[in-house]
Amino acid sequence: MSEHSGHIVPSKLNWLIWAILMVATYVTYRVAQIDLGLFNTVVALVIATCKASIVVLIFMQVKYTSEKMTKAVLIFAVAWLILLLFLSLTDYSSRFAG
């Protein structure tokens, strides 16, 4: 295939990612109904982050892109998001502590 059509993801891999996402959705649905205390939220968010990561890497082809800036934009956007959530939550959690 010509070089400018980009990386062609094998059909089987796309279906595998789909299957993993479906199974992960089922797992998060079932685990939420088991009492794990505080870990219910942690497990739900870890599963969501795994799902989001494989969508970004395979479906959005970040794993295959020749453009390095794509990865930079993605990493910085996520870093700013974490900064937003982290700083806001430290502020608010200390504000209502007293």
Partner 1 sequence: MSDSPPVAEHVEHTEHDRPELRHHFADEVQQRNAASLGMWWFLGTEIMFFGGMFCAYLIYRIKYFPEFAVASRSLDLKVGALNTAVLICSSLTVAQAVRAAQMGKRMLQVKLLLATLFFGLVFLGVKAYEWDMKYQEHHIPTFDFNAKNLMQTPQDRHLLGLDKISDPVELRRKEAEIQQRSQIFFSLYFALTGMHAIHMIVGVAIFSVITWMAWKGRFTPEYHTPLEIAGLYWHFVDIVWIYLFPLLYLIDRRPGA
Report the alpha-carbon distance of residue 95 to residue 98 in Å, rounded.
7
**Can residue 84 be called a binding residue for partner 1 (CB under 8 A)?**
yes
Task: Give the residue, chosen from 35, 94, 97, 98, that forms a contact with partner 1 under the rule CB under 8 A.
Answer: 35
Q: Is the Cα dihedral 41, 44, 50, 52 positive or negative? A: negative
Q: Rounded to 5 degrees, what are φ and ψ at 70?
A: -60, -45
**Binding residues for partner 1, per CB under 8 A?**
1-6, 8-9, 11, 14-15, 17-18, 21-22, 25-26, 28-29, 32-36, 40-41, 44-45, 47-48, 51-52, 55-56, 58-60, 65-67, 69-70, 73-74, 76-78, 80-81, 84-85, 88-89, 92-93, 96
